[in-house]
Structure 1
Amino acid sequence: MMRSGRLFRDGVATFALLAILALLALKMNNRPEIVQNGKFYVIDGDTLSTNGERLRLKGIDAPEYRQRCRRDGADWACGEEARRALATIIKTAAPECRGQERDRYGRLLVTCVAGDLDINAAMVRRGMAVSYGGYSNEERIARQAKAGLWAGDFERPSDYRREEHTTHADGNDPIAGLFGYLRQLVGWNAP
């Protein structure tokens, strides 16, 4: 008799805990959508700034501003080109950017439109960014057309950042460089 009472009590406690966790999760997902419009400053091919706040275009990853790629056997400044492409797109009409999540750097993750044009999708379709969880159809179109990055060889922006971080973090310390190399060799990267 005592055992069944204990099981009942534990079941009720477990149910209550799960209910509290569900309510917390619901509350966290209920963030208000933030809308930004007006003048934007282009930082790079997937980052904008307005009123002192940085906005990261959601679902895409563009080359870093200093990143270089290869096309027709020659280097080209694909990062600068991605920045120029985004600047050109946002000049066509007054963009509106919406989002409610933030990335680990505190940037608002946004989807931007200018009139009927989805700016995030346009960057991927023009080959100036790769899909990062949402624009795979546009990436397929860019690949087939050999547009932008797909016209030659390039390092994925996330790989480029990882290498840059490893290079700058290790500096001239040969031991740190060796450990960085071993981490890269076994595929383990610290966040």
Structure 2
Amino acid sequence: MTETIADTSNDDAVDAALVARWQAGDERAATELVRRHAPALARFAVSLGERDEVEELVQDTFVRAFQALDGFRADSSLRTWLFTIERRLVLDRRRSQARRRARESAEEADAAIGHTALDAVVASETQQRLTAALDRLTPMQREVFTLRVAEGRSYKEIAGIAGTTEGAARVHYHNAMRAMKEFVDA
């Protein structure tokens, strides 16, 4: 155990030195940071269910990290911070893909079914109520709800993505559904 803690603090010290060198203009330090952390980020992306474009996701993670490096407070290890950035990128991509699929489905439905003006008003009002209901959820409830409803993810997958347990994911989903129904039915 002591050896692991020493290794971790040594890794943190090496990362801190590399970050300082990069901020001082040493491009080789950035290359070394990528070499040190890219394999772990790739494994983490795969563990989040990403199969395609893992390399691009890792690259985007480093781009974001290097852009925000001045704001890194070292409250956690650099690797943990990188994992957090990558997780957010994955969630952003999934939300974007879900919106795109929903938009495409809606466009297909619009093409197949003629809507009356009243249908459009009701659909718009319903969309507004759903959006307002989503905004009232806690961030965790919103994340779990979106992953379950829009992405069709299992509770096990949701737990891995959200960094929680499967049971907690079920509870957050149940509470989100109850809150959504109460607000929409009100």
TM-score above 0.5, yes or no: no
Q: Is the helix fraction higher in 1 or 2?
A: 2
**When the two structures are superposed, what TM-score results if normalisation uses the length of structure 1?**
0.22
Larger Rg: 1
**When the two structures are superposed, what TM-score results if normalisation uses the length of structure 2?**
0.23
Q: Is the strand fraction higher in 1 or 2?
A: 1
Q: Which has the higher contact order (CA 8 A, sep 6+)?
A: 1
